[in-house]
Amino acid sequence: MKIFIDSADINEIKSLNDTGLIDGVTTNPSLIAKSGLNFIDAIEKICKIVDGPVSAEVTATDADTMILEGKKLSKIASNVVIKVPLTVDGLKACKNFSNENIKVNVTLCFSAAQAILAAKAGATYISPFIGRLDDIGADGINLISEIVDIYDLHDFKTEVLAASIRSVQDIVDSAKLGVHVATIPPKILQSMYDHPLTDKGLSTFLKDWEKTGQSIL
Ligand code: G3P
């Protein structure tokens, strides 16, 4: 399973990328607004930091303008993936991009039916939103499960990118279902490292090691 960072914060992306565990980045208009950066500059900077795919989202709502925006964004760097919303126009634009071998991430997916259409439109990634479904009392992980099963059954090549992740458990549940990618907010990614028994165990090891009076170097 690939790990993408769901952020447009350049410093956070830089420091997480230094771990060597990051396969890509996803952004959206809200994350760009939060960063306070110019959109094009931000994508340019992120693409210089991370080698893997970097999703940049169009903001037009009609297919023709989405295509123009997407083409401009795809010229920023070779690892830019165009992100389009799961609307009729978004999928028209997706089909157009996929015909031109431009990679597309179809976002704001909330149903298996939508995911089928995105796959038919040649999406590289489908982004089902776990957290936002859970927020309204629906079952985000169940949607992931449905999409993974349908894509497997029909041999769709679109990768399932678990998005709107709110907890470490969302990541583990998505991984168990076989998602190709999880896009993870920096805070949650940091907490994947944590376990109280790791801290406790390390402190005991270090205390006992000190008693030996030895040093490795
Ligand atoms: O980037 C799309 C998605 O991950 C957004 O997450 O937390 O705003 O629902 P969230």
- Encode pLDDT of 91-135 as tens digits: 999 999 999 999 999 999 999 999 999 999 999 999 999 999 999
Domains contained in the chain, number: 1
User: What is the residue type of 142?
Assistant: N
- Does any ligand 1 atom lie closer than 6 A to the CB of residue 131? yes
Is residue 29 in contact with ligand 1, taking CB distance under 6 Å? Answer: no
- Minimal CA–CA distance to 92: which of 117, 57, 112? 117
Q: Which domain holds residue 11?
A: 2-212
Contact 28 CB / ligand 1 (< 6 Å): yes
Domain harbouring 110, CATH code: 3.20.20.70
What is the reported pLDDT for 104? 98
In a domain, 114, yes or no: yes
Residues labelled as active-site residues: 83
132 CB near ligand 1 (under 6 Å): yes
Q: Left if phi > 0, otherwise alpha if psi is -120 to 50, otherwise beta: which for 79?
A: alpha
Question: Hey, what long-range contacts does 189-196 have (CB within 8 A, 24 or more apart)?
Answer: 189/3, 189/5, 189/16, 192/168
| CA 165 to ligand 1 center in whole angstroms | 7
Per the domain annotation, does 119 fall within a domain? yes
How high is the pLDDT of residue 114? 98
In a domain, 217, yes or no: no
Q: Whose CA is nearest to atom 8 of ligand 1?
A: 164
Position 185 in a domain? yes
For residues 129 and 164, give the distance between their C-alpha atoms in angstroms, rounded to a whole number. 5
Helix (H, G, I), strand (E, B) or coil at 131: helix
Nearest CA to ligand 1 atom 6: 164
pTM: 0.96
Nearest-atom index, ligand 1, CA of 55: 1
**Which pLDDT score, from 0 to 100, does residue 93 have?**
98
- The segments of the chain whose pLDDT lies below 70 read none
Q: Give pLDDT, residue 94.
A: 98
Inter-CA distances, 95 with 101, 121, 132, Å: 10, 5, 26
